[in-house]
Chain A
Amino acid sequence: DAGITQSPRYKITETGRQVTLMCHQTWSHSYMFWYRQDLGHGLRLIYYSAAADITDKGEVPDGYVVSRSKTENFPLTLESATRSQTSVYFCASKDRVGVEASGYTFGSGTRLTVV
């Protein structure tokens, strides 16, 4: 399913470097989300966006920055990568909130290693 695309799939970076993970969706969904997945924690919300130019913090936002200048893109930037940010990152989108809305759709993930 090519509706939501994450890039890169794999990334190795050094401590202190800035790195940006990309997320692109083709449905014009209003909502977009970034999660990180770590053993023993499930998925935890980093940031989310309800629409272009509207973003808000999730459960674990420290060390991350997001932007949403266009509806279809929601990049996640690690300003100065740390080893604790080694994780698998998932982007998701959803058209609107409410029980009638369609389900959430997840990208395939980006496996980030900080060395």
Chain B
Amino acid sequence: AQSVTQLDSHVSVSEGTPVLLRCNYSSSYSPSLFWYVQHPNKGLQLLLKYTSAATLVKGINGFEAEFKKSETSFHLTKPSAHMSDAAEYFCVVSGTGGSQGNLIFGKGTKLSVKP
């Protein structure tokens, strides 16, 4: 069975400093992994996805994530935080087998950006 663990429920950074949101996954298969962002009272927006091509995935708004199979990690990073990055971020793995096509969400990491 697949699962994801987001290691921090809340991360706070200052504007202009790097962002690191951590995610570990568990999967019996080669997984498809995603990061989604949700701004307050909004829907979910896809930031980036990993689908067994390049291990370093670039997404929108300057975010990127690196798939590390040996560490079963898919951490999200951004070199310089912007106030508009304040939101909740979800690490997601795509289900396989009988639940193929389903998304399995982590519990989310709330990112706060201080001026």
A residues lining the B interface (CB < 8 Å): 31, 33, 35, 40-45, 48, 50, 58, 90, 92, 94, 97, 99-100, 103-104, 106-109
A45 and B103 in contact, given A99-B51, A99-B52 (Cβ under 8 angstroms): yes
Tell whether A97 pairs with B103 under 8 Å between CB atoms, given A42-B90, A42-B108, A108-B42. Answer: no
User: Binding site of A, secondary structure by majority: helix, strand, loop or mixed?
Assistant: strand
User: B40-82, CB under 8 A of A: which get 1 and which 0?
Assistant: 0011111001011000000000000000000000000000000
CB-defined interface of B80-115 with A at 8 Å, one 1/0 digit per residue? 000000000010001000011111111110000000
Chain B positions within 8 Å of A, measured between CB atoms, are: 32, 34, 36, 42-46, 49, 51-52, 90, 94, 99-108
User: Are A33 and B43 touching (Cβ within 8 A)?
Assistant: no
Please, how many angstroms separate the alpha-carbon atoms of A5 and B113 in the complex? 31
A-B contact pairs, 28 of them (CB 8 A): A31-B101, A33-B102, A33-B103, A41-B107, A42-B107, A43-B90, A43-B103, A44-B105, A45-B102, A45-B103, A58-B99, A58-B102, A90-B44, A92-B103, A94-B101, A97-B100, A97-B101, A103-B34, A103-B46, A103-B49, A104-B34, A104-B46, A106-B36, A106-B43, A106-B44, A106-B45, A108-B42, A108-B43
Q: Once the chains are docked, how many angstroms separate the CA of A90 from the CA of B92? A: 15
Q: Which residues of B contact A35 (CB under 8 A)?
A: 103, 105
Residue contact B103 to A99, C-beta cutoff 8 Å = no
A31→B99 CA distance, assembly (Å): 12
